[in-house]
Amino acid sequence: MFQRAAEPPASAAILQDLRSFQEMASVLYVAAHPDDENTLLIAYLARGKNYRTAYLSVTRGDGGQNVLGPDFDEKLGVARTQELLAARRLDGGRQFFTRAIDFGFSKDYRETLNIWGKDEVLSDVVRVIRTFRPDVIITRFSTQPGGTHGHHTASAVLALEAFKLAGDTNAYPDQLKTLAPWQPKRILMNGRGDGTLRMEINGNDPVSGLSFGDLAGRSRSMHKTQGFGNLAAVAGARGRNLFSFSLVQQLRMTFSKAWIPRGRAFRRREHRQARGRNHCSVQPAKPRRKRACFVEIASPARFAENDRPAGC
């Protein structure tokens, strides 16, 4: 029933697709459970900015509550999967999962990763990044433990590790039979306190005419097994539109001062290799010395450890 109610008009979906074709930017939002995601941000990025936007829910919420009936565990996971898909049809995002099971509350993210099987779930996150190819990853939670569900912290830890690995050809090479390595440019944490960047989301979706707050509320109301299927969720989405983003890590272009032998053919080959490998511009060659381009993952000067969103 909720799937049918969530379907947008076909004409609106086509118009949104046409608008999205004009934009190349893409964002992957990562958290642990259905309902952890920032639906207002997803609606704004997907429908307001026309970015390719997706939510990776590490679990399907199998261990959560169900106010609609007696189904739990796997059956609840199926229901909450459908709720997330219905939510994305409203806010315009895409939806990904990993194989991780929501086994209930966990105090410690290390316990969570042990139960999940860290390497397997990490490989799933890397696969999602290589499949969706986001420019930016946004985590809902901090990688620093404390004050929230172990699943939440684990989702951020996995996102950060996958950020470092997805562009590495030595990481999960079996995936590279069908996928290419992909290196996002930066990973941010989405909070509500101080952050490197603050964003206030207002305005309306130009296709439907609905405000982003209304869209987000309708999207969130798809979480019916958790009791969000009422208009209170819509009203609750309004007024919660100021968000902060703290830089966790970013890709930084650096230049080595390497001696390069003379010879135009050699220099041209170096240029091609550097450009193809890193998608960055190369410094022009000097008579006897040029700068080779390479990339490194660098920690930013600031990491807002205290900016932790409230757990759900």
CA distance 42 to 36: 12
Q: Nearer to Zn ion by C-beta: 152 or 290?
A: 152
> Minimum distance between the CB of residue 211 and Zn ion, rounded to whole angstroms?
26
166, 126 contact by CB (below 8 A) = yes
Q: CA 217 to CA 254: how far, in whole Å?
A: 43
- Pick 55 or 172: Cβ nearer Zn ion: 55
CB of 32 to Zn ion, least distance (A): 5
Q: How far is the CB of 33 from Zn ion (least distance, A)?
A: 4
Name the DSSP class of 286. P
Distance of CA 144 to the CA centre of its chain: 18
Nearer to Zn ion, 141 or 163 (CB): 141
Contacts with Zn ion by CB under 5 A lie at 32-33, 36, 312
The residue among 268, 260, 280 whose CA lies nearest residue 167 is 280
Residues 6+ apart with CB under 8 A from 238: 211, 213, 214, 217
Is 165 or 237 the residue whose CB approaches Zn ion more closely? 237
What whole-number distance in Å separates Cα of residue 116 and Cα of residue 110? 10
The C-alpha atoms of residue 126 and residue 172 are separated, in whole angstroms, by 8
CB 312 to Zn ion: min, Å: 4
- Supply the angle between the helices 150-165 and 109-116 in degrees, to the nearest 10: 70
Report the candidate in 42, 82, 54 with the shortest Cα–Cα distance to residue 237.
42
- Structural tokens at position 221: 């109301």
| Complex with Zn ion: residue 150 or 181, whichever CB lies closer | 150
Q: Which residue is nearest to Zn ion (CB)?
A: 33
Minimum CB distance to Zn ion, residue 46 (Å): 21
| Cβ 311 to Zn ion shortest distance, Å | 7
Which CB, 32 or 154, lies closer to Zn ion? 32
Q: What are the φ and ψ backbone dihedral angles of 114, each rounded to 5 degrees?
A: -65, -45
- Among residues 36 and 124, whose Cβ is nearest to Zn ion? 36
Q: Least Å distance between CB 134 and Zn ion?
A: 21
